[in-house]
A and B are shown apart, each in its own frame.
Chain A
Amino acid sequence: MTPMEMASFPILTAILASTIVGLLVIVFIPDGRDKLIKQVSLAFSAVGLALSVWVYLTYDVQKGGLQFVERYLWVKGLGIYWFNAVDGINAPMLLLTAVVLFTGVLTMWELEVRVKEFFAFMFLLVAGVYGVFMSMDLFWIFVWYDVSLFPMYPLIAIWGGTRKEYGGMKLTLYLLAGSALILPGIIYLWVQGGAGTFDLFELQRIGFTPQVQRVAFIMLYLGFGILAGVWPFHTWSPVGHVAAPTAVSMIHAGVLMKLGAYGILRLGMTLCPEGLGYWSELMALLATVGIVYGAFVGLAQTDLKYVIGYSSVSHMGIVGLGLSTMTVNGINGAVFQMFAHGVMTALLFSSVGYIYDKTHTKMIPELGGLSRTMPVASAFFIIAAFAGIGVPFMASFWAELLVFISAVKTYPVRGILAVSGLVVSALFMLRVVQKTFYGEKNEKWEHIPDVPLFLATPRIILVGTILFFGMFPRVMLDVIQSAVIPFVAGLSV
C-alpha cells in the first residue's frame, strides 16, 4: 500500500457533514415553511456537490492510491477506525452521489406532501450512501450501509405510488436479508483475521486462507449482490422503483444499486481475491443471465418505471460481468458503468417523474404522442434511452465497450451472449420511446405545458454529465484506472 498522508482539512467528513447538518437544519425548520425547506436542502446538497467535485478534480491521478485520508482510532478494543479516504474507485462514486442528490432535490421541487419529513429522510439516506463510499473501515461501512437502507421504507411507503406498501416492504426485506449476510461475513473476517481490526487495508494485508475467502466472498457477494440487483435477486428492484417517488427512484437506482456493486468490489474482491477467483464463473454467469433476461423482461412491460427498473437489472449485469473478468479493463468498465448508469437512470427516472406529475399516468398504452406537446421533456427521456442503448458519445458506451472486450476475452461464450443482449436492449428502449413519445398527438395531453427551464435544470445537468463523460472519457477513466491497475496487480499476486 502506498504511504498515506493525512489530509490537512477533513474534506470527506465535511461532505458527510453537509448531509447530516442539512438533516438537522431541516428538522428544526418549523412545519409549513416548505419553500425554505427546499431551499435549505438545495443549498446543502450544493455544498456536497461542490466539495465532491473539488475532491474529484484535485485527486492526483499521477500519485494514485488513497488521498484525502482521515484516520483516527475510535474504539481501541475492537480496532474500529474513523477512516475515510478517496481513491480512483470511490471518487467517481462520490461525484455520482452528489450529482444525483442535487438533481434529486431539484426534481422534487414541486412536492407538497410532508415536505420536511421527505427531505429529512432523503438526507439521512444520502448520508449513509456517502458514508459507505468514503469509509475504509468495515465497521463503518456496515453502519452506513444500514443507515442508507432504513429510510427507504418510509420514503416509499409514505410518498410512493403504485403498490407502495408492497414495494416498500419487499425492498426493505430484501435489502435487510442482504444485510443479514453481510454482517456475518464481516464478523467472520474480523474473527479470522485475528488482528482485532476493522481497517480494510490492514485486513487485506493479513491475507486469509483460501477456505476462509471462499466462504466470506460468497456471503459478501450475495449480500451486496442483492442490492446490486444480481439475477435472480433482482425482483425487488423494479417493484421498488415503481413504488418509490421520483427522487427516491433516482437515488435508489442511480446510487444505491451501485452501493451493492461497490461493496462487492471494495470488500469482497479486495479482501478475498481467491474467493473471487473461485466464484467468478458463477458471477459471470449470473451477470450474463441478468443482462439478457432484464432486456427481455423489459420488452414486455407496460409501465414506464418497470421498463426502467428492468433496464437497470440489465445494465447492472454489465457491471457484474466487468467485475467478474478480474481484468483491468473489465473493472475499469464496471466502475465506469456504475457511474454512467447512475447518471443515466437518474435522468430516466427524473424525466418519467415529470411526465407522471403532469399526466398522472406512467402506463405506456395510455401515453403516446407526448413529443408533440412536451418536446423538451420528451427529449430528455429519449436522450437517456439512447444512453441506455449504448450509443457512442454517451458515457455508458465506453463502459460497455471496455466490459465487453474483457468479457469476450475471459468468457467467450457468455461475452458473446451478453453482446447480443444489446440488440434486445435497443429493441425495448426504442419500443418504449416510440409508444410513449411518438405517434399521433394525444388530445388528452394537449393542455400540458412543456417543462419550464427551472424544472428542467436537473435533467439538463444530468444530460450534460452524460455527454461530457461520453465525449471526454479520459476525465473519468484516468481516475478510475489509477486505482484499478494496482488493484488488479494485487489480485494476481
Chain B
Amino acid sequence: MMSLLKDPVLLAAALGTSLPFLSMAVILVFTRQNQRLSATISVGSVSVSLLSSLYLLITLYGAGAPVQYEFPWLLADDIVIPFGYLLDPLSLLMLTIVAVISFLVQVYSIGYMSGDPGFSRYYAFQSLFAWAMMSMVIAPSMLQLFIFWELVGLASYLLIGFYYEKWSASQAGKKAFVMTRLGDIGFFLGLIILVLGFGDLSIVRMNEAGQGHQIPQYLITISALLIFGGVMGKSAQFPLLTWLPDAMEGPTPVSALLHSATMVAAGVYMFSRIFPFYSMSPEAMALALAIGTVTMLLSSTMAMATYDLKQVWAYSTVSQLGFMVMGLAAGGYFAGVFHLTTHAGFKALLFLCSGIFIHEYHTNDFRIIGQQGGRKLMIPMVCMTVGALALSGIFPFSGFFSKEAILGVLANHPNKLWLGAGLVGALMTAYYTFRLIFFMLFPRGVAAAHGVHDAKGSGHGHDDHEGEHHGYIFWTMAVPVMILAGISVVLGFSQSSLESFLMGHGSVPAQLAASGGEGHAAAHDGHGIGHYALLIGAVTMALGGIFWAFMEFGRKGATQEGFLRAFPVVERLFAARWYMDAFLRAFLDKVIYSGLTNVFTRNDRRVIDGGIDGICFFTVAGGRLLSFLQSGMLQYNLLVMIVAVGFVVLYFLLA
C-alpha cells in the first residue's frame, strides 16, 4: 500500500485501471435506480482513467526501459500468475486510445441512451468493458492478458445482448461469445504449451527469449499458431468473422467501442504485443498473412451488398482488421499498430455518426435515412464524410498515413501478391464507403419518401426529438463526434513522432531492430522512389473507388443500383456472407445438436439408464417370481413347512 502512494506512476496505473471496476460494482449494487448518478459515476471514473493514462503517457514518453510492476496474484507450485502493469510505449499508446474512446463513447451515450430503462446497467457494463480492456492492455504477462481478454469477451457479450428482449440481440451476444471462445481455446492451449515448454509467460521475457532463440523453434511455431486462434476469434478473422457484423445488435455506441478500441482491437493488440516472439515463426507469420488477406477481401465484398448503415461499417472493420493483421504479419510492427490507432479513431467516429442518424430516424437502412433528409444533419454528415475519407485512405486524413505504412510493408514483402491484394482492398474499401456516402448525400425518390414521412404526422422531428437538436442530448452526441473528427484529421501527421515513440529505445521492437528484424527496416525502406510510386498507386486506387462509386451512385441520373445488380448470383453470395453463417448454422444443427448431443442424450437415456433400469427390472422380476411361493394362505405355508421337515427327517433317517 505504501509503495502505491509513493510512486505516482504506479498510483496512476492502478487508479486508472481499477476505478472503472469500482464504478461498475457501485452502479450494480447501489445506484441502479438512480440513472443520473450512475452515469456520473461511470463517466467520472473513466475520465480519471483518461487523465491518468495521459499522465502516464507524458511522464513515460521519453523513459527508456519499460516500467513494470508485478505482484504475485496466484502461486501454485511452479506456476506463478502475477498481477501487474507493464508500461511500455505500445501499452501506453493503447491505454490512451482505450481511455479516450471509452470516455467519448460514454459521454456520447448520455445522450444516446437517455430514457432507456437499462441506463444504469448500460453504464455498469461500459465500466466493466473499460476496466477489462485497460487492464488487458497493460498486462505484463500473457496470463493476465488472457484473463482480461476473457473479461473483454464477457463485457461485449453483455453489451451486444444489451437489448435482451430482442431475440436477435441475445442471439448475437451468444454468437459473439461462443465464436470468440472457440478462438480462445486455441489461445489458451497455446499458452499452456508455452507454460509447459518455456515456463514463463511474462511478455517481456517471452519476447526476449523468442528473439534470443532460447525457445525451440517448433515450440514457437506451435504456440504462435495456437495463440493466433485467439486473434482470429477476437479480431474476427476468417473463418470466425461472422459474429462481428451481428454484433451491431447492441446499442450503437457499443458498436463504436467494440469496433474501434476494445473487443476487436484486443486481437490485433495481442498480436503486436508478442510480435517479436511471433515473428520468429515464419510459418505462423505466413498463415497470419494469408488469413488477414482472405478476411480483408471477403469482408470487403460483403460490405458492397448491404444496405444497413452499421453493417457496412462492421464489414469495413473486419476488412481493416484483416489489413492490420496483414501489416503485422508482413513484418510491419509499426504499420500495424499505427493503423490500429488511426482506425480506432475514425471507426469510432463513423459509428457514433451513424448512431446520431439512427437515433434520429429509427432505421438502419441508409437509403431511407438519405431519403428522409439525413444530409440535413450537418454535423454528423460532415463528420461521417471525414471518417469515410479517412477510411478510404485519402490525404490528409489519418487513414491515408497508416494505410500507406501497411502498403509500404507489403511492398517490401518478396511476394507481390499480397501488395496486389492490399491495393484491391483499398479500391473496394473506397467503393463501398462512398456508395454509402452518396446514397445519403444524393438520395433518390425524396418526394416519395416525404409522403411516407408526412403520413407519420410530424414533419421532420420524430416525436420528441424536435427540441433536441440543440438540446444537451444532441450536443452530448455531437461533441464527441466532432472531437473524433478532429482527431481523424490530425492524427496522421503524428506518424513520425509516434514511430519514434513506438520504435524508440526500450520498446520491444527496438530490440527487434537491433537483432536485424525486418519490421523496423520495412518501415524505413518505404521512403524511396518506390515509395512514391506506391503512394500514387494507393491514392489512385482510393480515388478510383470513390469515382466508381460516384459514377454508380453519386452523379445525376445514376441508377444507384451498383454493378452487383448485374450479377445476382454474386450479389446473393456477398449478401449471404459467402454462406459462412449458413455453413456454421448447418454445422451447429447437424453435428452439434442433432449429432453429438442427440447421440449422447440417447446414450444416457437408453444405454446407461436403460442398463440400470434393466438391472432393477430383473431384480424386481426375480423377486416377483419368488413371491408366488408366498401365497398368503397360512395353511399352505404350514404344509410346505411340514413337508420340508419331513424331508429333513427322511434325510437323517436314511443317512
A and B touch in the complex (CB under 8 A): yes
Give the interface of A toward B (CB within 8 A): 170, 173, 232, 235, 293, 296-297, 299-300, 327-329, 332-333, 369, 371-372, 386, 391-393, 397-398, 402, 404-405, 408-409, 415-416, 419-420, 422-424, 426-427, 430-431, 434, 437-441, 473-474, 477-478, 481, 485
Contact with A along B27-47 (1 / 0, CB 8 A): 000000000000000000000
Interface residues of B in 592-628 (CB under 8 A from A): 592-593, 596-598, 600-601, 604, 608-609, 612, 616
Q: Across the interface, which residues of A come within 8 angstroms of B593, CB to CB?
A: 299-300
- B188: nearest chain-A partner, CB-CB: A419
Q: Is the CB of B75 within 8 A of A477?
A: yes
In the complex, which residue of chain B has the Cβ closest to the Cβ of A473?
B74
B372 smallest CB distance to A (angstroms): 29
* A297 near B147: Cβ-Cβ < 8 Å: no
**Does the CB pair A441–B597 fall under 8 Å?**
no
Report the separation of the CA atoms of residues A296 and B597 in the bound assembly, to the nearest whole angstrom.
5
Residues of chain A with a CB closer than 8 A to B77's CB: 327-329, 332, 481, 485
Is B573 part of the binding interface, using a Cβ–Cβ cutoff of 8 Å? no
Known A-B contacts A329-B77, A332-B77, A393-B151; the reply to A408 vs B185 at CB < 8 A is: no
Query: B165 at interface (Cβ–Cβ under 8 A)?
Result: yes
Least CB distance from A289 to B in Å reads 10
**A477 and B74 form a contact (CB under 8 A):** yes
A170 to B611 Cα, complex, angstroms: 13
> Which residues of chain A have C-beta atoms less than 8 A from B195's C-beta?
405
How far apart are the CA atoms of A440 and B173 in the complex, in Å? 16
15 A-B residue contacts at CB 8 Å? A300-B598, A329-B78, A391-B154, A392-B151, A397-B147, A405-B79, A405-B195, A408-B192, A408-B193, A423-B185, A426-B181, A430-B173, A430-B178, A431-B174, A439-B164
Report the bound CA distance from A430 to B158 in whole Å: 11
Chain A residues near B171: list those with CB within 8 A: 434
**Top 4 A-B pairs ranked by shortest CB distance?**
A328-B77, A438-B170, A438-B164, A392-B147
A422-B74 in contact (CB<8A)? no
CB distance from A323 to the nearest CB of B (A): 15
On chain A, the residues within 8 Å of B181 by CB distance are 422-423, 426
The answer, yes or no, to whether B587 is at the interface (CB within 8 Å) is: no
Q: Does B9 reach chain A (CB closer than 8 Å)?
A: no
A485 partner residues in chain B, CB cutoff 8 A: 77
Distance from A474 Cβ to chain B, minimum over Cβ atoms (Å): 6
What residues of B have a CB within 8 angstroms of the CB of A439 in the complex? 164-165, 167, 170
Residues in B with CB closer than 8 Å to A473 are 73-74
Is B215's CB within 8 Å of the partner chain A? no
**What A residues does B164 contact at CB under 8 A?**
371, 437-439
User: B597 — which chain A residues lie within 8 A by C-beta?
Assistant: 296-297, 299-300
Whether A416 contacts B612 in the complex (CB less than 8 A), given A392-B151, A439-B164, comes out as no
Extra contacts, 16 of them, besides A329-B79, A423-B181 (Cβ < 8 A), are: A232-B608, A235-B608, A293-B600, A296-B596, A300-B597, A332-B76, A393-B147, A404-B188, A408-B189, A422-B185, A423-B178, A434-B161, A438-B164, A439-B170, A440-B165, A477-B75
Q: Across the interface, name the chain B residue whose C-beta is closest to A420.
A: B185
Which residues from chain B contact A427 at a C-beta distance below 8 Å?
A: 174, 178, 592
In the complex, what residue of chain B is closest to A430 when comparing beta carbons? B174
**B414 interface hit (Cβ, 8 Å):** no
Bound Cα distance A297, B598 (Å)? 8
Q: Are B75 and A419 in contact (CB under 8 A)?
A: no
Main secondary structure of the interface of A (DSSP, over half): helix
| Cα distance A178–B189 in the bound complex, in angstroms | 36
Range of interface residues on chain B?
35 or more
User: In the complex, what residues of A have CB within 8 A of residue B147's CB?
Assistant: 392-393, 397
**C-alpha spacing A300/B627, complex, angstroms:** 41
B148 proximal to A (CB < 8 A): yes
* Of A170, A300, A481, most B-chain CB atoms within 10 Å: A300
Smallest CB separation, A364 vs chain B (Å): 14
Give A275 to B72 CA distance when docked, in angstroms.
36
Query: How long is the Cα–Cα vector from A409 to B592 in the complex, in angstroms?
Result: 28
Measured between C-beta atoms, what is the minimum distance from B645 to chain A in Å?
35
**What is the CB-to-nearest-CB distance from B26 to chain A, in angstroms, rounded to a whole number?**
15
Are B600 and A297 within 8 A (Cβ)? yes
Which residues of the other chain, A, contact B639 by a CB distance below 8 angstroms? Answer: none
B570: shortest Cβ distance to chain A, in Å?
Answer: 33
Is A398 within 8 A of B165, CB to CB? no
B111-161 contacts to A (CB < 8 Å): 147-148, 150-151, 154, 157, 161
Across-interface contacts of B151 in A (CB, < 8 A) = 391-393
* Distance in Å: Cβ of B511 to nearest Cβ of chain A: 29
Contact (Cβ within 8 A) B165 A438: yes
Complex-state Cα separation, A322 to B608, whole angstroms: 25
Tell me if B185 and A409 are in contact (CB < 8 A): no
Query: Does A372 contact B165, Cβ atoms closer than 8 Å?
Result: yes
Contacts of B534 in A (CB 8 A): none
- Of chain B, the residue at the smallest CB distance from A336 is B76
- Say whether, besides A391-B150, A391-B154, A423-B185, A329 and B76 are in contact (CB < 8 Å): yes
B633 interface residue per 8 A CB criterion? no
The distance from the CB of A338 to the nearest CB of chain B, in whole angstroms, is: 15
B161 near A438: Cβ-Cβ < 8 Å: yes
A329 to B81, CA, bound (A): 13
Q: Is the CB of A392 within 8 A of B150?
A: yes
Interface residues of B in 3-60 (CB under 8 A from A): none
User: Could you give, for residues 248-289 of chain B, a 1 whenever the CB lies within 8 Å of some chain A CB and a 0 otherwise?
Assistant: 000000000000000000000000000000000000000000
Contacts of B189 in A (CB 8 A): 408, 416, 419
Type the 1/0 row for B491-508, where 1 means its CB is closer than 8 Å to any CB of A.
Answer: 000000000000000000
Interface code B181-196, partner A: CB below 8 Å = 1, 0 otherwise?
A: 1100100110011011
A409 CA to B196 CA, complexed, in Å: 7
User: Which residue among A392, A419, A478 has the maximum number of chain B CB atoms within 10 Å of its CB?
Assistant: A392
Report the separation of the CA atoms of residues A408 and B592 in the bound assembly, to the nearest whole angstrom.
24
Of the candidates B150, B165, B596, which one forms a contact with A369 in the assembled complex, judged by CB atoms under 8 Å apart? Answer: B165
Contact partners of A416 in chain B: CB under 8 A = 189
| Distance in Å: Cβ of A383 to nearest Cβ of chain B | 10
Residues of B within 8 A of A426 (CB): 177-178, 181
**B591 → A minimal CB distance (Å):** 11
- The CA-CA distance from A170 to B608 in the complex, in Å, is 13
Give Cα A408 to B597, complex, Å: 25
* A477 adjacent to B76 (CB under 8 Å): yes
In whole angstroms, what is the CA distance A392 to B154 when docked?
A: 9
Residues of A within 8 A of B173 (CB): 430
Q: Which residues of A contact B157 (CB under 8 A)?
A: 430
Which of these, B148, B154, B182, contacts A386 with CB under 8 Å?
Answer: B154
- With both beta carbons as reference points, the residue of chain B lying nearest to A440 in the complex is identified as B165
A485 to B74, CA, bound (A): 15
Q: Among B76, B78, B596, which residue has the most Cβ atoms of chain A within 10 A?
A: B76
Q: Which residues of the other chain, B, contact A393 by a CB distance below 8 angstroms?
A: 147, 151
Chain B residues near A474 (CB, 8 Å)? Answer: 72-75
**CB proximity of B590 to chain A, nearest CB, Å:** 14
Q: How many Å lie between the Cα of A441 and that of B612 in the bound state?
A: 42
- Cβ-defined contact, A405 with B165, below 8 A: no
Cβ–Cβ < 8 Å partners of A441 in chain B:
165
**Measured CA separation A439–B169 after assembly (Å):** 9
Hey, which chain B residues are within 8 Å of A232, CB to CB? 608
Interface residues of B in 75-92 (CB under 8 A from A): 75-79
Interface residues of B in 177-223 (CB under 8 A from A): 177-178, 181-182, 185, 188-189, 192-193, 195-196
Which of chain A's residues have a CB closer than 8 A to the CB of B185?
Answer: 419-420, 422-423
Whole-angstrom CA separation of A372 from B74 in the bound complex:
38
In the complex, A485 Cα to B78 Cα: how many Å?
A: 11
> Smallest distance from the beta carbon of B112 to chain A beta carbons, Å?
22
| Bound CA span A427–B596, Å | 14
With a CB–CB cut-off of 8 A, which chain A residues contact B192? 404-405, 408-409, 415, 419
A85 CB, nearest partner CB in chain B, Å: 24
Give which listed residue, A372, A402, A409, contacts B76 with CB less than 8 A: A402
- Minimum Cβ distance to chain B for residue A171 (Å): 12
Q: Which among A297, A398, A440 is the interface contact of B604 at CB below 8 angstroms?
A: A297
Which chain B residues numbered 338 to 396 have a C-beta less than 8 Å away from chain A?
none
